[in-house]
Amino acid sequence: MTHQLKKIDDYRWELPQSGAMNVPGMIYTSAALQKTKDINEPVQQVANVASLPGILKASLAMPDMHWGYGFPIGGVAAFDWENGVISPGGVGYDINCGVRLASTHLVEGDIKDRLEDLVNALYQNTPTGVGSTGSVTLSYSEEKKVLKQGSRWALRQGFGVDNDIERTEDSGCMPNADPDLISKRALERGKKQLGTLGSGNHFLEVGVVDEIFLPETARVFGLFEGQVTLMLHTGSRGFGYQVCDDFLAIMTKHVHKLGINLPDRQLACAMIQSDMGRRYYNAMACAANYAWANRQILLHQARETFQRALNISPRALGMNMVYDVCHNIAKKEEHVINGKKQTVCVHRKGATRSFPPGHQSICSEYRDTGQPVIIPGDMGTASYVMVGTEEAMDETFGSTCHGAGRVLSRKAAKKKSRGRAINRELEDKGILVRWTGRSTLAEEMPDAYKDISQVVDVVDGAGISKKVARLRPIAVVKG
């Protein structure tokens, strides 16, 4: 089915309510981004999500949207906490896949002659690839502590500093996590993967701040032009995948008892206030906490690797967390809808929280500026640091985009890369890359993604997050 979008302005396009849709769709995009191949598939998914019970205001999609499981990746939807549903497809398999950014005291000239040594050390000391295992091996009882405590478990084991926790979304822990809901298979998968990067689009990247857009906000975030940064992108690994898989298997059968006419079986769901809904929410929180602990350990390991590879002290390095944001999550939040404060369950799948100045969920350091928003691009272009806004709270339940968004499937990307040396192409741009999987570079090559600048210009133009700084990659470690 082909849907006609109604242009509201240069950045907003409405999908009018029709058929089984309970609300309209609202897609943040541009005329240029709409030329993307296969745009009809994610637009149809926006319409499908709009048909779910209890959805509020609109089914939303960000400019990096592309086809996903049930919900489009880049999709945002909020459901009434008392009378709405929760759907694993609205969270995704990689629960709390997210991005963490750290600043340093270094400038590019400080590491230019040592960059190859640094990227080699980061590659050697960061477990990558499918099924990779880390240096942290857990007993079942200790793993359950990770699932309850999140980042604070890692901190108590000596991984990181207090400031890391303060600058993590939700302080790195969802409090409702219940490890007793987790299957033996998920626990087994999680025991050996803590402190690992994984594969696919997960990465660790050394970058340089090459442009500042909001100088005062950048100063508060600790960013300056020419500065060396570290960004890492990973999630809950095989543990989160298994949690999603377990509950999808149950919910696919459960949803038939609800009498909901789903347009797509991948939208399997449960009422939030049902036993099934609460069980999924509390199990999902376990995976979210696992992911935060995972990123906390990886940051600590990267700090130590920088110090050893560059032979500098922690003080000279000055690697400080800027922020940690999650992409694939469902959260209980309060939002004002039609002038009335309402408790909702916000699904952000391939979308980032974008809370404004003054919001109580933001750490005190950033409360006057708004929440840092980290938007990674592909490994050959740039990434952006943005900041949350009131417009996002008004329009998108405090949400914005999460990255560039794919335009080629992994299979199509591999086909297009035949005969090319992607690593050499990146080196010609001044970017050193190390990777594990045989097909990783082909699947993740820059051509496989949308133009990150076009994506960011949409959310900046729409006002749902504002550009603070641009980061240029100089070294990348891929799974």
Assess whether pLDDT exceeds 90 at residue 473.
yes
Q: What is the pTM of this model?
A: 0.96
Q: Check: CB of residue 297 under 8 Å from CB of residue 159.
A: yes
Contact 200, 436 (CB under 8 A): no
By CB atoms closer than 10 A (0-12, 13-18, 19+), residue 448 is buried
What is the sign of the dihedral through the CA atoms of 114, 115, 120 and 124?
A: positive
pLDDT in tens, 5-26: 999 999 999 999 999 999 999 9
Distance CA 20, CA 16 (A): 12
Residue 186: other Cβ atoms inside 10 A = 27
The CATH class given to the 6-478 domain equals alpha beta
pLDDT band at 366 (very low <50, low <70, confident <90, very high): very high
φ and ψ at 59, to 5 degrees? -90, 120
Please state the φ and ψ torsions of residue 193, each to the nearest 5 degrees.
Answer: -110, 5
CA 115 to chain centre: 27
Residue 264 main-chain phi, psi, to 5 deg: -150, 125
Q: Rounded distance, CA 248 to CA 244, Å?
A: 6
What is the rounded CA–CA span in Å between residue 129 and residue 211? 32
- Residues 317, 307: Cα–Cα separation, whole Å: 7
Count CA atoms within 13 Å of residue 416 on its CB side: 17
Say whether 66 is catalytic. Answer: no
Q: Which residues pair with 443 in a beta bridge?
A: none
Q: What is the pLDDT of residues 314-328, one digit of tens each?
A: 999 999 999 999 999
d(CA 380, CA 93): 26
Q: What is the pLDDT of residue 256?
A: 85
Structure tokens belonging to residue 405: 């968004």
Name the DSSP letter for residue 198. B
Residue type at position 240: G
Contacts of 256 (CB under 8 A, 6+ apart): none
pLDDT higher than 80, residue 85 = yes
Express as a percent the part of the chain with pLDDT over 90: 85
Structure tokens at 82: 């008392």
Which alpha helices (DSSP H) does 260-327 contain, by range? 275-310, 314-317
User: Of 132-136, 252-256, 260-264, 329-333, which range is least confident?
Assistant: 132-136
For 196, the token pair is: 């690992």
Cα separation, 468 vs 465, whole angstroms: 9
Structure tokens at 74: 């880049």
Tokens of 114: 């040592």
Cα–Cα distance for residue pair 368/220, rounded to 1 Å? 9
* Residue 304 token pair: 């130590």
* Domain chopping of the chain, boundaries: 6-478
pLDDT digits 0-9 by tens, 218-274: 999 999 999 999 999 999 999 999 999 999 999 999 888 888 889 999 999 999 999
Choosing from 66, 233, 300, 402, the catalytic residue is 402
